[in-house]
Structure 1
């Protein structure tokens, strides 16, 4: 009798082990066919537009204007023409420089700021944390005119030209990226054990040494998340880049906007080149996500479980 009961308990435990079929059946919220249908529908919402953009980029302008989904003739000429007609090379170079600098500097400053806000007690600490949340709720459209007036007046009062420069756009993006990046790092650092820092201090490490040797290596998922979101802020922005840049300093998003506006009113717009340029501009972001995907999962879920 005892052997039979033990065998039953062992069988039940094995059936509910992590990854077992029975466990998935118990924890599944939706029936299998319904779940598969929802996943197929969601994937179709994403993949069908992307497939259409790619097929239109290898199609002729007349074919796209006639509503062809599958092109009658495949050609990669549009991918060669965009570098001269759209001016995409300059735009991509400016976007990589500005967005990359914003991501690196924002991630570096946010981890230092978050470390101070999480590990030290001082007057105004809670006010600073609440201010980070408040700054994220301010729409960027409300800040376009004040930022433009402030930067344009610097040429008169300080003799420093900010409008039309890459570093002026970098400062603008850094101002909006810092609150979100800092809050991400605050959430992440709250989940790191203090015992590691105390052990490092016992060994004689300074505050900077603890930050560089202990906190920084353990915070890569959060740093990657804050850096990627800061990068996307500079890469996708059109509003600030359109009013604060010149033709030689405009980003890829502005180059696409200018090219699309120039095609309005024409006989047959250059649909193929517009689609090809859109895919080329989206490729760096997709590659970035694929490279840092494992860090993104850990960084976005940090602080969710205590």
Structure 2
């Protein structure tokens, strides 16, 4: 039975259409309002206009100087892209070892990967800050306020999840493929990068995207571990919105424009890799 037939069997067609329309409206109506508000004037948005009396892209031009969004976007894209690549690569190699080899402590490591997902990031903020601050005293390294310090913080939280995603996926790959490679004289690294990685591309993309989003959506760690020259887009947007609250006319239109610009890289990322997402998210769910 197809998915559509199964859905019609569970719900009457009229109810299914109603639920679909309501869910789409919940997502699309706020998005439409943000787009319209970004094309409206600040005074028009403040007065409660839903449909602008006049359309103007002025907010998209002003936001680059009023919020310094360019620096934040550049830092976010650089740090989050590096975190996504590093966590996907390290997670794949770590998962391959955990799945294909038996050694003392293997089960403990697997359980630890699951347990780490239950620790709130807010509990780790102070320990991470103290650790990074101490590195400057004991190692002579400046970590707090740098992009690579933020990279290390995000990688710490992204790597366990990426590893677990890859563990789940690699368990479903047949060992015969690797055995055939060994018969042909391939080394372990050659098998990993020439056989396992191409077959695991959907899961690698999913783990990379989730690692990217972890850093892109973060405000807490980026607020503490960065300086003005290294702050991310989320911090720039949060700071800009907070500093404009006491103005005579809040710059709602510019805030909406900045929000859309900040969301654009994530939307592009999903559109570019959408064909891998379904396979990667559902992989390993059925054994």
Which residues of 2 match residues 263-302 of structure 1 at below 5 A?
Answer: 263-302=244-283
1:39 to 20, 38, 46: 20
Q: 1:95 aligns with which of 72, 76, 80?
A: 76
Per the alignment, do residues 167 and 25 of structure 1 end up closer, same or farther by CA in structure 2, a change over 3 Å counting? closer
The yes-or-no answer on 1:168 pairing with 2:113 is no
Work out whether residues 8 and 16 of structure 2, in 8 Å CA contact, stay in contact via their aligned partners in 1.
Answer: no
Query: Does residue 213 of structure 2 align to residue 251 of structure 1?
Result: no
- Cα displacement string for residues 24-63 of structure 1 (whole angstroms, at most 9, x for unaligned residues): 2796311111101101000000000000001000001111
Counterpart-to-counterpart distance in 2, 1:28 and 1:191: 31
Q: What runs of 5+ residues in structure 1 fail to find an aligned partner?
A: 1-15
Match of 2:110 among 115, 129, 147: 129
Aligned residue for 1:195? 176
C-alpha deviation, 1:255, in angstroms: 0.1
Aligned to 2:204: 223
Q: How do residues 114-125 of structure 1 correspond to structure 2 at under 5 angstroms?
A: 114-125=95-106
Q: Distance in 2 between matches of 1:296 and 1:174?
A: 21
1:260 pairs with 2:231? no
Pair 91,120 (structure 1): closer, same or farther in 2 beyond 3 Å = same
Alpha-carbon distance between aligned partners in 2 of 1:278 and 1:189, rounded to the nearest angstrom: 37
Q: Deviations over 1:56-79 (max 9, x none)?
A: 000011111111100101000000
Alpha-carbon separation, structure 1, partners of 2:14 and 2:265: 35
Change (3 A) 1:25 1:200: closer
Unaligned runs of 5+ in 2: none
Partner of 1:184: 165
Separation of aligned partners in 2, 1:194 and 1:37: 47
In structure 2, how many angstroms separate the alpha carbons of the residues matched to 1:27 and 1:185?
34
**Structure 1 residue 264 displacement after superposition:** 1.6
Residues of 2 paired with 1:258 and 1:63: CA distance? 23
User: Structure 1 residue 153: deviation in Å?
Assistant: 1.4
Partner of 2:53: 72
RMSD of the alignment, in Å? 1.3
For residues 295 and 283 of structure 1, what CA distance do their matches in structure 2 show? 19
Q: Distance in 2 between matches of 1:38 and 1:264?
A: 37
Q: Which residue of 2 aligns with 1:30?
A: 11
Q: For this pair of structures, how many residues does the alignment match? A: 287
| Moved beyond 3 Å, runs of 4+ | none
**TM-score (norm: length of structure 2):** 0.98
What is the CA–CA distance in structure 1 between the aligned matches of 2:110 and 2:230, rounded to whole Å? 35
Moved more, 58-67 or 170-179: 58-67
SS at match of 1:292: helix
The 3 A distance-change label for structure 1 pair 57 and 127 is same
In the alignment, is residue 204 of structure 1 matched against residue 167 of structure 2? Answer: no
Deviations 1:243-275, CA, capped at 9 Å, x for gaps: 000000000000001101101221111111000
Residue among 194, 197, 217 paired with 1:236: 217
Larger Rg: 1
Shift of 1:278: 0.1
